[in-house]
C-alpha cells in the first residue's frame, strides 16, 4: 500500500517492529492522557483561510538561530535509532541533510557523534544534552559536540527522573542488553560504555547551573520541555537563546497540557525576545501551520521520524519529511500565505471550542 501520510508510516512501522520496540516508541507516561491530547488538541483548532491572493509561488523557507532551513519542520532528539533501523542515527542524519532541515541528535544516540557527522557532514545539527551527574562528562560531551560542528546545545529540562511508562515495565524492556551508548566516550577513548555503566541524568539540575553550562560553550543554549509562562520568563532572564515547548511526547509527566495548548502562554511570555519552537503531536501540514500561527518559529518531529526509519531507513525519513513539507506547502497556499512571515494568529479561529 502507498504511504501517503505520516499515519500510514505509523501503521506500517507497527507491523515491522517487535512489540517491545513498538511499545517503547509509541508509549506515553502513566495513563497516556497527554500523549493522546498532543494530537487531539491540534484537531480542535479551526483555520480562517484568506482567498484571492496570488499563491502561485509559496516559499516555505525560514531560519532558526539565524540559519536557513528549507521548511519549519525539523527533527526532535529521540534515543536509540538503531532499534528502528540498523544504521540508526546515520540514516536519520543523511535524510535531514537531504531535506535541508535541522536534526537534533540525542545524548542517547546509538551511533557515535563522529559517525553521525561523517554520514552527513553538511547537515544542520544541534546536540541534545541530558545533563549528567558527572560534570566532567558533561564538559566532554559539550566540547565534543561543539568541535564536531553542532550549532546549538539543547538542554532537556523535563527529565529530572524518568516518567513511568507502564508498557515498558510490563514488557520488562531492557535496553542495556543490546545497546551501547556510543556518545559517552570518544573513539579515542576506546570502547563505548555499556548502558548499565552509564552516568545518570542529573535530578538536581537548577536554573543557577545554566551559567556553568554557558561558561563551557559558545553555542546557543535551547531549553527543551518548558510549558509555563513562569519558566519561559526565567529562561529569558537566564539568557538562553530558545525554548522548545514540549511535554516529551507525553512520556514524562502525564496530564500536562498538550504542547499546542501550552504554546500561546509561553510565546506570549517571551515577547519575541527569544525563539520559541514546539514538538509533540505534529502529524500534518495543517498542524505545522497552526503551531506557527500560534507563535512557534519551527516544529520538531519525534515519533514520525522513527516510523520512517522503521519502514525504509534513510528513504523512509526523507519521505516522511517530504510528505509533511508538501502538506505544509498546500496548507500555506490554501490559507493564502505566500511566505512564513504571512502566517499569523489571524489564521486561527477564536474562541476555540
Ligand atoms: C522513542 C522516543 C525517544 C525519545 N528520546 C528522547 C531523548 O533522548 N531526548 C529528548 O530530549 N527527548 C526524547 N524524546 C522526546 C522527543 O524529543 C519529543 O519531545 C517527542 O517525541 C515529540 O512528540 P512526537 O513524538 O509526538 O512528535 C523521545 C521520544 C520518543 C518517542
Here the CATH number for the domain that contains residue 83 is 3.20.20.70
* Separation between Cα atoms, residue 283 and residue 6, nearest integer Å: 6
Give the number of the atom of ligand 1 that is nearest the alpha carbon of residue 224: 11
* Separation between Cα atoms, residue 128 and residue 159, nearest integer Å: 13
Is residue 319 left, alpha or beta, with left meaning phi > 0 and alpha meaning psi from -120 to 50?
A: alpha
Residue 342 located in a structural domain = yes
77 lines ligand 1 (CB under 6 A): yes
* Distance of alpha carbon 248 from the chain centroid: 9
156 lines ligand 1 (CB under 6 A): yes
Which residues are paired to 348 by β-bridges?
47
Domain count for the chain: 1
* Separation between Cα atoms, residue 85 and residue 302, nearest integer Å: 15
CA 250 – ligand 1 centroid, Å: 9
Confidence of residue 217 (pLDDT cuts 50, 70, 90): very high
What confidence tens digit (pLDDT) does each residue in 75-114 have?
999 999 999 999 999 999 999 999 999 999 999 999 999 9
Residue 55 located in a structural domain = yes
* Separation between Cα atoms, residue 283 and residue 327, nearest integer Å: 10
Q: List the catalytic residues.
A: 248
286 lines ligand 1 (CB under 6 A): no
Residue 336 located in a structural domain = yes
Nearest protein CA to atom 13 of ligand 1, as residue: 78
Residue 19 located in a structural domain = yes
Nearest protein CA to atom 5 of ligand 1, as residue: 78
The residue range of the domain holding 65 is 6-349
> Residue 241 in contact with residue 220, Cβ under 8 Å?
yes
CA 303 – ligand 1 centroid, Å: 7
Residue 202 located in a structural domain = yes
> Residue 239 in contact with residue 18, Cβ under 8 Å?
no
Nearest protein CA to atom 28 of ligand 1, as residue: 78
pLDDT of residue 196: 41
DSSP symbol at 249:
G
What confidence tens digit (pLDDT) does each residue in 306-347 have?
999 999 999 999 999 999 999 999 999 999 999 999 999 999
Residue 1 located in a structural domain = no
Amino acid at each position: 500500500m502507498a504511504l501517503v501520510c505520516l499515519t500510514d508510516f505509523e501503521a506500517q512501522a507497527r507491523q515491522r517492529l517487535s512489540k517491545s520496540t513498538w511499545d517503547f516508541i509509541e508509549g506515553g507516561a502513566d495513563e497516556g492522557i497527554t500523549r493522546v491530547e498532543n494530537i487531539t488538541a491540534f484537531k480542535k483548532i479551526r483555520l480562517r483561510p484568506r482567498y484571492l491572493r496570488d499563491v502561485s509561488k509559496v516559499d516555505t523557507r525560514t531560519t532558526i538561530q539565524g540559519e536557513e532551513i528549507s521548511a519549519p519542520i525539523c527533527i526532535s532528539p529521540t534515543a536509540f535509532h538503531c532499534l528502528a533501523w540498523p544504521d540508526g542515527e546515520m540514516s536519520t542524519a543523511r535524510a535531514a541533510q537531504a531535506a535541508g532541515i535541522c536534526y537534533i541528535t540525542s545524548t542517547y544516540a546509538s551511533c557515535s557523534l563522529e559517525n553521525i557527522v561523517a554520514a552527513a557532514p553538511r547537515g544542520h545539527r544541534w546536540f541534545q544534552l541530558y545533563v549528567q551527574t558527572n560534570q566532567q562528562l558533561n564538559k566532554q560531551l559539550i566540547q565534543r559536540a561543539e568541535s564536531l560542528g553542532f550549532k546549538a546545545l539543547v538542554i532537556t529540562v523535563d527529565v529530572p527522573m524518568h516518567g513511568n511508562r507502564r508498557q515498558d515495565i510490563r514488557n520488562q524492556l531492557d535496553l542495556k542488553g543490546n545497546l551501547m551508548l556510543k556518545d559517552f566516550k570518544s573513539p579515542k577513548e576506546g570502547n563505548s560504555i555499556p548502558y548499565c555503566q552509564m552516568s545518570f541524568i542529573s535530578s538536581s539540575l537548577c536554573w543557577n547551573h545554566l551559567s556553568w553550562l554557558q561558561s563551557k560553550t559558545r553555542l546557543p543554549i535551547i531549553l527543551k520541555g518548558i510549558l509555563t509562562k513562569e519558566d519561559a520568563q526565567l529562561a529569558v532572564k537566564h539568557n538562553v537563546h530558545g525554548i522548545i515547548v514540549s511535554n516529551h511526547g507525553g512520556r514524562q509527566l502525564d496530564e500536562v497540557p498538550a504542547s499546542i495548548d501550552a504554546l500561546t502562554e509561553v510565546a506570549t511570555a517571551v515577547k519575541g525576545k527569544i525563539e520559541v519552537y514546539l514538538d509533540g503531536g505534529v502529524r500534518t501540514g495543517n498542524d505545522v501551520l497552526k503551531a506557527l500561527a500560534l507563535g512557534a518559529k519551527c516544529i520538531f518531529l519525534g515519533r514520525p521520524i522513527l516510523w520512517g526509519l522503521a519502514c525504509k531507513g534513510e528513504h523512509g525519513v526523507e519521505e516522511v519529511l517530504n510528505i509533511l513539507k508538501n502538506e505544509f506547502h498546500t496548507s500555506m497556499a490554501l490559507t493564502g500565505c505566500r511566505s512564513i512571515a504571512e502566517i499569523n494568529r489571524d489564521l486561527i479561529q477564536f474562541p476555540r471550542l
